[in-house]
Amino acid sequence: METRFLRLIGVFLFIIILALSAVLISAVVFPKEAVIVPHIAPDLTRLQSPPLIISHQFPFEKITVSLTVPINVSVYEGAKQAEKATTVYGNISETVWLAQSYRAMIQDPAQESLYAALLAETDTIRLRQKLSDDEYVELIAVYIQSLRYETREQNPAKFPVETVVDRAGDCDDKSLLLAGLLSREGYPVALLLFGPESHMAVGVGSDDYHYKNSGYAFIETTNYSFVGVPTSKLGGNLTLGSDPVIIPVSNGTKFYGSGSETRYIHDMYLLSDQKVKELEPRVKSIGADLTSREEEIASLKSHMQELRTTGNTVSYNAQVPVNNALVADYNARLGTYRQLFALYEKYALVHNYILEHMYDRKGVYEYLKKNMPV
C-alpha cells in the first residue's frame, strides 16, 4: 500500500515537472512577447581575407574630400547574408519593434571597426581643415549625401557596412549610417521615420531650426541639403507632410549651432525663387514689347530713307519728330528693362548658387551676405 502511494506521488511529481518544463520551453521557444532583430554573424570562411579598401570622393566647402577605409570582409559578407527581417512575438507595437530593429542594425558590435576607421578619416580632415564642430557635422552629413541614391524592388534596410562598401543606398540605408557616425561623435541623434511617405531622415540635436516640435534639426540623406532644411518633395512629387515617428539613437552633449544660418540660407533660397518667378513674366513682357518697338522704329527708318532717296524732303522732315519720339520712348523702356533684368539676374544667380553649393553652408552664407539683393 505504501509503495503504491509513493508511486502515485512520483507520477504526480513527474506530471508537474513535465508541465513546468513545457511552460518553460514554451516561454523560450514561443515567447509571448519578444523581438528578434537582425544581427551580423561574421562569415567565418572569410576571416583570413585581406580587407576591402573602399575609397570615396566628394565636394565639401571649397575642397574635394577623399575618404579611404579598410573593410573587414567577414563582417561585410556576414551583413550581406544576414536575415534583415525582424521577427515579432506577441502584441508589440510596430513603433517599438521598428525602433529596436533599426537601433540593432546601427549598433551591431561587428561594425565598430568600420565606424572607428571612418571617423579616424573624418577627424583627420577636421584637424587639417580646422573645422568647427558644426562644420564637422556637415562634413559627415555631406559624405553620406554624396553616396549614390538607389532604390531596389526588395529593399529591406542594409547594415551601414553594406552601404559603405556599395557606396550607395536609399533613405533608410544612408540614414542608419549617418546616425551611427554622429552618435559616436557625441551628438544627440534620432531617426525620423515617415511611414505614409515611406521615407526616413536623421535628426541631430540643435539649438535652433528644429523640425516641427521634435527638438532635432532635420538632415536629409538622399541628396545634398543643409542641416536643418527639411525635404519638401520626394520622388514623384510626393510631399513630405506626415509627422515622423522619432526613434532616438543616442543622447549626447554636443549640439549643432548653425541652425540660424541654414534657416537664413533656406529663406533666401525660397525668396530668390519667388522673386525669379515674379520677375520673369515682366521681363519677358517688356522684352517682347521692346522687340515690337524695335521693329516699328526699323520700319519707320526704312520708310524715311526711301523718302530721302526720292527727294521727298517735306514728308521726310514730318517723320523726324515721330521717329525721335519712338526712339525716346524705346530708350526709356529699355532702361526700365535693364534694371528689371539686372534684378532678375541677381535673384537667379543667388538661387542657382545656393542650389549648386549645398555642401558648403559656410561659403553660401558668406556669399549671400555680399550678393543677396536688398
pLDDT per residue as tens digits for the range 82-141: 999 999 999 999 999 999 999 999 999 999 999 999 999 999 999 999 999 999 999 999
Mean of the pLDDT values across residues 218-242?
A: 88
Residue 7 reports pLDDT greater than 60? no
In whole angstroms, give the CA distance from residue 241 to residue 267. Answer: 19
What 105-110 contacts at long range (C-beta under 8 Å, 24+ apart), as own/partner pairs, is 105/37, 105/38, 105/157, 105/159, 105/160, 105/176, 106/160, 106/176, 106/179, 106/180, 106/183, 106/249, 107/180, 108/39, 108/40, 108/159, 110/40, 110/42, 110/72, 110/75, 110/78, 110/79, 110/161
- Asked which of 7-11, 120-124, 346-350 is least confident by mean pLDDT, the reply is 7-11
**Cβ atoms of 365 and 264 closer than 8 Å:** yes
Residues 6+ apart with CB under 8 A from 148: 167, 168
Mean of the pLDDT values across residues 261-279?
A: 97
| 3-class DSSP assignment, residue 86 | coil
**Cβ atoms of 41 and 82 closer than 8 Å:** yes
For residue 21, what pLDDT band results from cuts at 50, 70 and 90? low
Residue 342 reports pLDDT greater than 60? yes
Residue 31 reports pLDDT greater than 80? no
For residue 27, what pLDDT band results from cuts at 50, 70 and 90? very low
Residue 144 reports pLDDT greater than 60? yes
pLDDT of residue 9: 53
pLDDT of residue 19: 47
Residues 6+ apart with CB under 8 A from 315: 307
Q: What is the mean pLDDT of the chain?
A: 91
In whole angstroms, give the CA distance from residue 118 to residue 71. Answer: 10
pLDDT of residue 241: 86
**Cβ atoms of 1 and 8 closer than 8 Å:** no
Residue 22 reports pLDDT greater than 50? no
Give all domains of the chain, ordered by start, each with its CATH number: 44-256 (3.10.620), 262-371 (1.10.287)
Residue 334 reports pLDDT greater than 60? yes
Question: Could you give the percent of the chain with pLDDT greater than 70?
Answer: 91
Residue 235 reports pLDDT greater than 80? no
Which is more confident, 285 or 1? 285
pLDDT per residue as tens digits for the range 303-326: 999 999 999 999 999 999 999 999
In whole angstroms, give the CA distance from residue 41 to residue 43. Answer: 6
Residues in the chain: 374
Mean of the pLDDT values across residues 183-193?
A: 97
Sign of CA dihedral 313, 317, 322, 325: positive
Residue 166 reports pLDDT greater than 70? yes
pLDDT of residue 233: 79
For residue 23, what pLDDT band results from cuts at 50, 70 and 90? very low
